[in-house]
Amino acid sequence: MTGALLGKKLGMTSIYTDSGEQIPCTVVQAGPCPIVQLKTSDNDGYNSVQLGFENIPERKTNKPLKGHFAKAGIEPVRYLKEFRDLQIDLAIGEFLKVDQFRKGDKVRVTSNSKGKGFQGVVRRHHFSGVGMTTHGQSDRARHPGSIGSSSYPSRVFKGLRMAGRMGGKPATIRNLEIVDIIPEQNVILLKGNVPGYKNTLLVIVKQ
């Protein structure tokens, strides 16, 4: 792994190329991320880098984390995330910034998708609806229909698509192109959209 950052989704915008093409972009505040801890295979059994993101007041931090941040010599942060086998030449207390990426790089972004609450099968699984709305049947257009046979196998198979909670789960989008970078504002413009609401935490990894 040659590059990684934590960030948050600020919203969406559009930019235009020299040829006049409109490109929808997601505006992401990426970093700066302090290096909080370095783990090695000799001491911990694996290699990883722990990054932090978004400073918070010290009063919002519990005592174990206060000691953890004091040992690293950084201010308390809201988020901590480990990245295995991240190749860096920096020490604890230094910062990773957007300058590790270049315009045109491809990244994968992971975040929690938007929670939609309890939804039926038409919205959740794109069912078309079953049955005719004639012959006395007028109120089952958005129902899933039969979910199994009665005599055999006399049960409902696991994993059957049914109504339930929709969204609010980790989702990853791969091969997102970096359209532009604004280093002085710690901002990256990604082509297309990413999961989640505004201010959702994003995990950005260079592919």
pTM (2 decimals)? Answer: 0.80
Q: pLDDT digits over 70-101, tens only?
A: 888 888 999 999 998 888 888 888 888 888 88
* Mean pLDDT of the chain, nearest integer: 88
Residue 136 has what pLDDT?
A: 67
Residue 18 has what pLDDT?
A: 84
In whole angstroms, give the CA distance from residue 23 to residue 15.
Answer: 5
Q: pLDDT digits over 26-73, tens only?
A: 999 987 999 998 888 888 888 888 999 999 898 999 999 899 898 888
- Indicate if the pLDDT at residue 134 is higher than 90: no
Domains and CATH numbers, the chain: 4-115+170-206 (2.40.30.10), 116-166 (no CATH)
Closest CA to 100 of 207, 24, 206: 206
Give 150's pLDDT tier (boundaries 50, 70, 90): confident
